[in-house]
Structure 1
Amino acid sequence: MNFFKKLLLSLKSPSTQHVQPPQPLEPSEPVTSSNSIEAEAETVNQAVRQATEACLDRHWGSVGMVERDVLSYIISPSFSGGPYWPSTRQAYRVVRRGDAVIIATEGMSDPFDDVEGLGNGFEMELFIETADIPAHARGSFGEVDPLKRSWAFELVEHVAKTVADAGGITHQLDQHGALSLEIPGFSQSHYMCDQLPKLFVTDDDSTGVLLGAPNPDFPARLDDMPLSPVRLVPLVLITAAELEYVRAGGRTAREDLVSRLKAAGIGHLSSPHRASVV
């Protein structure tokens, strides 16, 4: 039973402080069933979810041109052994920003369906921004399906699964600053292996990303969410040499890499055509 169900149940349940014998109900007094309590709780949950979606829509609309459709699944992956998000809604929003495309998770900040919690889900959404998507996978405004065949979508989808398995990463970001993540089995990927150059592949068939930094050039914290603030966490593709640098140097190397990306004018943008900064 989630927080809202508990809240409504507590409002509906009689006090047990002074136990009285059962009294006959007046004809006009309504009887509240558990089904009606659960229905009201679901109504509250749905309203919060819609408010969350509207907040994200307003924010991304201030960043670029938001596609009306999202990248989604016919059946939620959580029903077929995939990682659980706060709700069964697992989707990806597309924002076109000049020559660049932003692909962002949509649902990680939904209120929890069946897990107790007071906040907006994982209190975060992931995103990647890049101008380097092949023409056949970019699509024009109004069509999002081609993006499913891009390295950028495959990358953010893979990272989203890892983050969901961890139950979100806001605490880790608060503790360690920028995080790094290795993705093994690069040669077995569907699209990355064809669209990313060898510069981004290590000798042990991995590629890497930074999470949480560098910061984007737009606000990355949403304080007007209905339950709790939500942060937008950038995902930045890094070269094989940069990943090896982080492997060897840990947090100090990650922080230095963030500084180098900023100094090179790369920032939070992901590009398979850039040079390595280490």
Structure 2
Amino acid sequence: MKRFLIGVLCASASLTVRADMTVENVGFQTPESVEYSVKTDNYYVANINGSPFARDDNGFISLLSPQGEVLELKWISGGLNGVHLNAPKGMAALGNRLYVADIDRVRVFSLPDGKPLFEVEVPEASFLNGVTPASQGGIWVTDSGVKEGFKPSGKDAVYHISADGDLTTLVSGMDLGRPNGVLEKDDELLVVTIASGQVHHFDLKGKLLKSEILPFNRLDGLVEDVNGNVIVSSWTAKAALQWQEGAELKTIFEDLNSPADLGLDTQRNRLLIPSFLDNKVWIKSLQD
């Protein structure tokens, strides 16, 4: 049974209406990320479906409408129709492509049909996680540097994968505090971390410019909204927080259990938040 919880908040002075939705009890299995595609005007939910380390070929991606309706629970499914998908995590929808991080490789699917196009193996990777578009084309992808049991693997890294599938290492070989969410902004690459609770600033050639320690660790998703605000999710804070360099974190949504890799609906300025442990997705309207 599909269940949608819809809350509407009205501010009478400005007549602003914010509609928030929770999509749950629909069959999600360890949803790790949600991504919005401008091309299709739909949401995509990456479901690990088991251990995030297991090469079990049972991961799947759900297709969700902006109204919160599950259009197809297993729109892309490991083991079916020539698809291999183990434990999908971060995603990026770029034009007619959907890039998906999957343990030690990035798999690329076509939009809007979801057919597998190609994959790029990252030989040194242990836990590919966050994905974001790169200004020079293709994507940036982080390796959180963990292995079974979430023990350090020594593989902390950030990679670039071009539109043609060429792999370049931006940074590796140093303890980055288990990198996760990643965002390119103003000629810098921002990377938030799981263990150390840091925001690392790299230039686009891999030089570490500086690092900041935030009040909370277990940082996960990282996006920029339509107004240029940077938003990060934290499992420790159980919140989505607005971050600005040199300023205090501002909590924008709280009481979120296991908020994982964030997505942004750029057409409606909505924050898309998967609950990794609770098998649901929050769709939250942001203030204009």
TM-score (norm 1): 0.28
Higher strand share: 2
TM-score (norm 2): 0.27
Higher helix share: 1
Higher relative contact order (CA 8 A, sep 6+): 1
